[in-house]
Amino acid sequence: MTAAAHGADGLVLRIDGSEPISAEAVAAVTALCDRAEDDTGEGLVAVHVSGAPGPAWPDGLTVGLVNKWEHALRRLERLGHVTAGVASGDCGGTALDALLATDVRIAAPGTRLLFAPVGGATWPGMALHRLTRDAGAARIRRAVLLGVPIEAADAHAMALVDELSADPEGALAELAAASRGVAGGELAVRRRLLSDAATTPFDEALGAHLAACDRALRRTAS
């Protein structure tokens, strides 16, 4: 089941990766983003993911629906809140997609990241793009081409997950405390600078960083 709700410490999204991409899944992510954008506070958005697709996963799936799903995840990725993914067990399909759209990722021992099998190969969705961006093509080649699961320790070594924890809820609580006071607008700027750093030369990036510094100084002065 994929559902959005208010938790004790903020907004919570739960995604079952064994279920296919659906209009209901798109609606759940969209509802969470709507609530987060309406919330002027600075609380953490937690995304709990688990489950991996079976052989019938793509039945009835259309490119139009996939497009809506990917755009919903892009909204999640750009929220003015710190987002945390909490993964357990096998995570594939929608669970992997959503995990990779979060800022900070926590995994329980035994977690595995894997691509859904579709049409004699692995699913070529935007999880492939995000994994390559984060870890590099060479390190995930077997997962993408052969469907070999990425074990929790390997995912941590590749920085695909930030923390391995036998107490994910405790780790999430610590992250919630650390994220208090982070301004949403400034968070968006830092995300963009992080993303651009991998592909933008120093001289081209300097202007954006100076503008961000000026913005920060103006906020401090006001």
Has residue 10 got a pLDDT over 90? no
Q: What is the pLDDT of residue 64?
A: 96
Backbone phi, psi, residue 182, to 5°: -80, 120
Express each pLDDT in 192-218 by its tens digit.
888 888 888 999 999 999 998 998 888
Question: Do residues 66 and 21 lie in contact, with contact meaning Cβ atoms separated by under 8 Å?
Answer: yes
Q: Which residues of 141-166 are buried (b: 16+ CB within 10 A; e: fewer)?
A: eebbeeebbbebebbbebebbbbbbe
Has residue 5 got a pLDDT over 90? no
Q: Which residue has the tokens 């920060």?
A: 216
Report CA 194 to chain centroid distance, whole Å.
Answer: 15
Express each pLDDT in 181-196 by its tens digit.
777 778 888 888 888 8
Name the pairing type of β-strands 10-16 and 3-7.
Answer: antiparallel
End-to-end Cα separation, the chain, in angstroms: 45
Has residue 161 got a pLDDT over 70? yes
Instruction: Indicate yes or no: pTM above 0.75.
Output: yes
Q: What is the pLDDT of residue 203?
A: 93
Q: What is the pLDDT of residue 1?
A: 54
Q: Give the span between the Cα atoms of 18 and 21, in whole angstroms.
A: 10
Task: Give the fold, CATH level 3, of 3-179.
Answer: 2-enoyl-CoA Hydratase; Chain A, domain 1 (3.90.226)
- Length of the chain in residues, anyone? 222
* Helix, strand, coil distribution of the chain in percent, nearest 5: 50, 20, 30
Report CA 104 to chain centroid distance, whole Å.
Answer: 8
